[in-house]
Structure formats: C-alpha cells, structure tokens
A and B are shown apart, each in its own frame.
Chain A
Amino acid sequence: MTSLNGYGSSSSTVLSQTNGVNGHTKSPLRTKILLLGMRRAGKTSIYEYVFNDLPAKQTFYLETTTRVTKHHYDTVIPLEIWDCPGTTTLETLETPLTQFSTLIFVIDIQDLYQQPISRLVDFVISAYQDNPNMNLEVFVHKADALSEEYKIENFRHIQQRVSEELLDISEEYEQIPINFHLTSIYDHSAHEAFSRVLHKLIDSLPFLEDMLNVFCSNSQSSKAFLFDTKSRLYVATDASPVDPPTHSLCNNYLQMLNSFGPLYKSVSASPLRQRTISPPELTPTSSGVTSPTTPHSVPTSASETPRVPSSSLQHTSPSSSSQQGPSTPLSPTQSTPSVSSPISSSSASSTTPRRKSKISFYPCASTSLSPSASGAGTTLTYHLINPKLALLALLPTSVYESRRGLVEYNVVFFREGVQEICEVEDEIRKGGGG
C-alpha cells in the first residue's frame, strides 16, 4: 500500500528520526504526542481519565507530575504520550520538537492570565519553525466549571488572545493552524477531543472511513464508530456529523459492556466457554474446504498476527469450537462468505502453515432502544473487530431484526478489511523507518 506514505509524510519522517535516536529497532515505532500546559491545568487527569479509566472524581487525588512521564498506548497505531510537568518550557524539554507529531496544550478555561497564553505562543512558534507539520491542539479544559454562555465566551476569548499574541509577533504567525477544543472530564468531550487528535495521526484513516461509509450505507446505519475498546476513543467514524449525545451514548454503551464481562465470568465454567482450537493438523487448504460446514470460515486470511499467546486479552479466544457443530448461528450467511474465503485462504495458504489457530469467535452485543416520538426504534450494535477495536453502529431496529444476517455478513467483511489495515500498519512500524 504505497499510497499510505502520501497521506502523512511528516509522521514517517518523525518515525525514521526517532528510530535513529532511540536505537530501539525491535519495538514498534511510536507516534509521539506531547502533553503540555500550566500546573494544575489537567494534563495528567485527562490522560488518566481517558487511557486508564480513572473515575473523574478521583482525579482530584492525583499528585502533581514532577517529571516527564512517557506512556505507551497501543491502538490502531502505537502511541507514546509524554505527560510533562507544568513547569516545562522549551529549554527544560530536552527533546527536539521534531520528534513529535502532535502537541496538545491544556489550558484551564478559567485561567485567563497572561502566563499560559505566552507559554503556548512560545511553543507554537518553535513548533512552526522546527516542525511545521506538527499538529497543534489546544484543550480548553475544565469546561464543566462554567455555565453554557460563560463557557463559550471564555473559549472564544482564549482563541482571540492567542491569535492576537501571534499577530503581535509576526503577521505570518497568525496563520498557523491551531485547533481548539472545549473539554471536560465530566462528560465525553475529552474523549471526543482526543479522538479528533488521534484521527490526524492515523495514516490509514481514509480507508477506515471509507469502509465505515460503505458499511453504513449497506446496513442502513445512521452512525457507526470504530472505537478503541480500552480508551473508548473513536478511531474513525462515517461521514455523517458526530452528534455529541450519540457519541456519548455509544461511549457509555461500550463502557457498560466492558464492565459486564468480569461480572458473570465463571471461573469454573471458563474451560467450557473457551472455544477450542481447531486441530493443528488441519492444513490451510483443507480449512478452506471445511469452511462451508463450520460456521467460522472467514477470518482465515486475517489471522496472520500471532495472537495465540495473548489469551489475557479477554475478547479473543483461540478459535473454532468443535462443540459448535450442532448450532450454526450464522448459517444462512455463512454459505456466502465461505465461497469467497477459499479464494482468500488459498492466497494466504502459503503463509498460514506457520499459524495454527484460527480465531473465529468475536463478541457481539446489541441493545434495542424503544421507539420514541422521533421515529422507529434504534438498535445499538457492538461487534469486536480485533482485540483493540470494536465497531459500534446505530441501526433501525426493523432492519436489524429482519436482516440481521446481512448486517453480520457486512461486519465480517468490514472486520477483514480493518484487520488487514492493522497488520500493514504493524509491519511498517516494526520493519520500516530506516
């Protein structure tokens, strides 16, 4: 996929540079995000709330960050988030700005004094000079502290101040693109803002979005999100506008599903539950042949990344169950994907001899919401795509109930596509850069 490089050329230069600097050629090249702001602006709170699921109320007890903390987080792309203490300036930050693909500056919405603005302006100017392709984002944080009108007023005020300061220094600087986001950890605006930041870093975003658009139009879905399950950031969405309440609903749904798992997990019944691996003696070609009969044919080409040892990831269970013989849940639809899978499995057959397990069970869930005044009921569906990503979509209940098989059929192809993209990303980062 050569077109990938054309999308975010700056990120690939960053990657190649960091590879040389770090010398860690074996670990994946990480996209670096710099998290800056004054003391007590809320940087660590945002990080902990989004990435470590810390309840918002408990962020109050977090201690001040005294040194730069580098957090690794893997989603569609591997990230390295640098949480810096409030006193960080250009000089104290020893690493050159060229290493980073994004700079997030957090400002407390009520902090209208000079200091944060001038600090921000300093960083903006250096970033512009050293690394013009760097994404500059400002989180106007703690928006929950103010009422609606004051919130917007302060937000605009801050934007204006920054723009004026830049103009004072040079006319050219006023044109520097900076994105402002209104955030709070007491609702999902922090997730929304961070999601948007993430979008700019994903090279393959257009492909993911495209697939989502196709999925939505073919399944009559009004909105679909590809969420990172742990952080609940959405990696991609379809072309329709993102409506905060809908995003909140999907976010809450995902949160609920994540919490449900451990509750009814049965320690003694678990061995029964794990779908057993299909006997390793099955050669890839024969698995292609047997697919019409067993309801787990499809992701043969997709299971290239070695996922067997990672049973700690709850959502993946090493593959097909012999117990599934009698019940073929997706039987009406399985006949059709299996037609295509011999093709894909034969192409993959040269590589599959190394991989023994075929993952075939993917968790899914659906919630139906009753019809309201606005129209017919909606169903919120959840399908796990890979251990880190899940597809959440809103569909009309009538469609879901009458055409569930087709929807799931579409999900299967969507899943394959996303898995391929993720594999390519992995390969590039592990092998490339130098």
Chain B
Amino acid sequence: MKKKVLLMGASGSGKTSMRSLIFSNNPASLTARLGATVDVEQNHVRFLGDLILNLWDCGGQDSFMDSYLSTQQSTIFSHVGVLIYVFEVESRNMTKDLEYYKDCVRALRKYSPEAAVFLLVHKMDLVRGNKVQVLEKKSKELRVASEDTPITVFGTSIYDESLYKAWSRIVHTLIPNAAVLSKHLTTLAAACSATEVVLFERTTFLVIATSTPSTPSTSSIPFSQSHTPSESLQSTQSTQSIPQSSTPTTSSQSTGISYTSDLYNGQDGVYDSGPHKMDPTRYERTSELIKAFKLSCARVREDFHALEMELPEFTAVLDELTKNTYVLIVVHDPSIETAALKLNVRLARRKFEELQGDSLVS
C-alpha cells in the first residue's frame, strides 16, 4: 500500500533535515551538512513493512515552487494522502511564504481534495521569547491563510522531541488500522496488568498506536473552550485522540495548538493524562531517547535490540514485537516481573504479525 506524502515549504525551512533525522536516523548535528534539494527528491520509505510512504521532498527555491504550481501541478498534487507544509518560525519573507502556501493549498484541493494538511512551524529552538505566544500568533495567521481547509499546526525543532510528536501524529493518520491496533494493545495491556502499552515503528521510532487507559480519562478539570493553552484541553484530548484515526483533521484541529503549547509551556506543569497522570510528552521523549541511544550503540558498532528496566517509579520492557515494530510495556505494579512481560510479548507476537498482514492488504 502506498501513500503519497508531500513535503513542501520555503527553501531552507528544514524539510530535508527532518527527513534525515526521522527516516535516516542521522543525528541532528549532521543536518548542518545538507545542501539545497534540487527539484523533487522522491523517497520510498518502508513503514510498518507493507505501508510505503512515498515521500516527495520538494525543493523550496522559488524557481522550483513556480514550476510545481504551473507545469508540474497535476504530477505533484495528484493522489496525495498528506501535505506537510513547513514554515520557518522566523521567516524572512512571511508574505511570500504565505502566498506560495495558499497557491499550494488551492492546487491540492483541486487535485486531491481528500488530502490532510499539516503545518509545521519549524526551528522553534530559535525563538528566544515566549514560544507559546509566538506559535499561537503564527497559527492564527496560517488558519486565516488556509481559508476553509482544515489544518493542524505543530511547533517543531530538530533539537528536541517536538518533531517526533508531529510526525507521529501525521503518520498515525496514514495507518489504516490504527484503531484495531489500539484495541489489541489494550488487550495486551490488560493481560500484563500494564498501565500502558505503546507501539513504535522500528526504524523511525514514531508512535504508531497506544493502548487506551483502563478507566475513562475524565479529569475533574472542566473542558475549556478557548484556544488559550490549558492543560485541561490537552488532557481530555490527549488520551482520546490517539486511537482515533478516523477524523484527524477536525478533532485534532483544536488539539494541534494545545499539544505544542503544552510542550513549550511547561512540561513540569500538570501531568494530567489519565488516571496515572504521567508526563504528557512521554511518547515523543521516548522516541527521542531511544533513537539517541540507538545512535550511540551504532557508534560502537552494535545494534540496539531490547531493553528492560525496573526503576522505583515503574517497570518497563521494550522489545521487538513484529519485524517492523517495537512495543513498550509500562507497569506500575511492583509485583510484576519483566520476565512475565517478555513472555507475554512473545505470545502476542503472532497475533500482531497477523494483524499487520491482514489490514494492509485490505
């Protein structure tokens, strides 16, 4: 199954760097050596074994953009599953960026009306002031420019976990059976008496699916309607929007801001996600940490394989589930041993392999 993903944005905004970090497992420092992309670089990224992401990294220089919007329009904008448009948070010429963006969106609506649109406000690490406010302001501008196309905005940087968060969400919408996977993960979680089970893709370590919490995550803090960053907005949405892959655009439109504003607002704020109140940024931080560790293993010419830990706060096992996925089981019950968890993973393997095979064929 192939899904076409368009990666567009102004020249130098960071598209190829993102690709290098997430898909090619290069460290952030290596992106400094990348040159400008000439025309379109097509990459077929094998994701989850049978799902192929046909990633079109479109060079952002003016001449290329002009050609995409004129002669190459139908080639570029047809059969698109997802458009990812990258803006630099401190862009030199925001008006021009917006102009090109509007044209792209128009072209997209014409040739691929069903495509989802994600906007990444990149290089957030360069913002010296209040990141949340800057992101809010930018998001408003972008929403206006998008007219009636539903969009999701993320603030990202290659130097922290925000990029993993954005891409995990994006890729999640492309996985056809995410809800089914989530359901099975929940079963696995129940079997292990686990608090949480997370499924990661093997190479990129992006989050594919997670188990839903055992008790409904009704927090006592009232749901706030405003778009101002509030932890409550994030909490009621965070545990629920993950398994829902069906309506990514509408449900995540309002959560788009709160996710990222939560990220830059205060990770030491309210850790309100479900009855266990764990750190809301844990998924992407796990992706980031494991990937960094994998890189350091590679330097010693070893390959990271599996991990288990018994810490005072929790017990966790990270192991291969299928040939394309890794599973992380987090248990808060001190009487459960890692060997038991590993046994369950072994037993669950076949089922998950089957699941992956089935769904992607259909």
Contact = CB atoms under 8 A, between A and B. Distances in A.
B63 to A, nearest CB: 34
A327 B302 contact: no
Contacts of B278: 263-267
Contacts of B279: 262-265
Interface in A297-350: 314-317, 321, 323-324, 326-327, 329
B124 to A, nearest CB: 14
Interface stretch (A15-23, A40-48, A199-207, A251-259): A251-259
Interface residues of A, dominant DSSP: mixed
B311 A372 contact: no
Given A246-B300, A372-B301, A365 B282 contact: no
Given A246-B300, A260-B309, A372-B303, A265 B314 contact: yes
A365 B309 CA distance: 4
A329 B296 contact: no
A366 B336 CA distance: 16
Interface in B195-254: 195-196
A299 B315 CA distance: 22
Given A263-B285, A275-B334, A252 B309 contact: no
Interface in B256-308: 271, 275-279, 281-282, 285-286, 289-290, 292-293, 296-297, 299-308
Contact of A259 (B285, B304, B312): B285
Given A245-B299, A370-B302, A268 B312 contact: no
A57 B278 CA distance: 28
Q: Which of B281, B292, B335 counts the most A-chain CB atoms under 10 A from its CB?
A: B335
B8 interface: no
Given A268-B277, A272-B332, A273-B332, A261 B304 contact: no
B313 interface: yes
Contacts, number: 143
A424 interface: no
Contact of A369 (B292, B305, B314, B332): B305
Contact of A268 (B275, B286, B303, B334): B275
A364 B310 contact: yes
Nearest to A251: B296
Contacts of A382: 309
Given A323-B335, A367-B304, A273 B296 contact: no
Interface size classification for chain B? 35 or more
A249 interface: yes
A249 B312 contact: no
Given A265-B279, A369-B302, A363 B286 contact: no
Nearest to B196: A264
Contacts of B336: 327
Contacts of A269: 195, 276, 332
A373 B275 CA distance: 46
Interface size classification for chain A? 35 or more
A267 B297 CA distance: 32
Nearest to B311: A363
A372 B302 contact: yes
Contact of A365 (B277, B308, B313): B308
A114 B52 CA distance: 61
A370 B305 contact: yes
Q: Which of A249, A269, A366, A373 counts the most B-chain CB atoms under 10 A from its CB?
A: A269
A246 B303 CA distance: 13
Given A249-B296, A263-B279, A372-B303, A270 B313 contact: yes
B337 A321 contact: no
A256 B311 contact: no
A267 B309 CA distance: 19
B303 to A, nearest CB: 4
A378 interface: yes
B333 interface: yes
B330 interface: yes
A366 B314 contact: no
B119 interface: no
A368 interface: yes
A266 B314 contact: yes
Contact of B286 (A263, A265, A315): A263
Contacts of B290: 256
B6 interface: no
Interface in B313-362: 313-314, 316, 330, 332-337
Interface of B: 159, 195-196, 271, 275-279, 281-282, 285-286, 289-290, 292-293, 296-297, 299-314, 316, 330, 332-337
Interface of A: 57, 245-246, 248-249, 252-253, 256-257, 259-270, 272-275, 314-317, 321, 323-324, 326-327, 329, 361, 363-370, 372-374, 377-378, 382
Given A364-B309, A365-B309, A368-B305, 13 more contacts: A256-B289, A259-B285, A261-B312, A263-B281, A263-B285, A264-B316, A266-B313, A268-B275, A314-B312, A321-B335, A324-B335, A366-B308, A370-B304
Give me the 7 closest cross-chain CB pairs, A-B, nearest first.
A365-B309, A266-B276, A369-B302, A252-B296, A269-B332, A267-B277, A265-B313
25 contacts: A246-B300, A249-B302, A253-B293, A256-B289, A259-B289, A260-B286, A260-B309, A261-B312, A263-B279, A264-B330, A265-B279, A268-B275, A269-B195, A269-B332, A317-B312, A327-B337, A329-B337, A361-B334, A365-B311, A367-B293, A367-B304, A367-B308, A369-B304, A372-B303, A377-B302
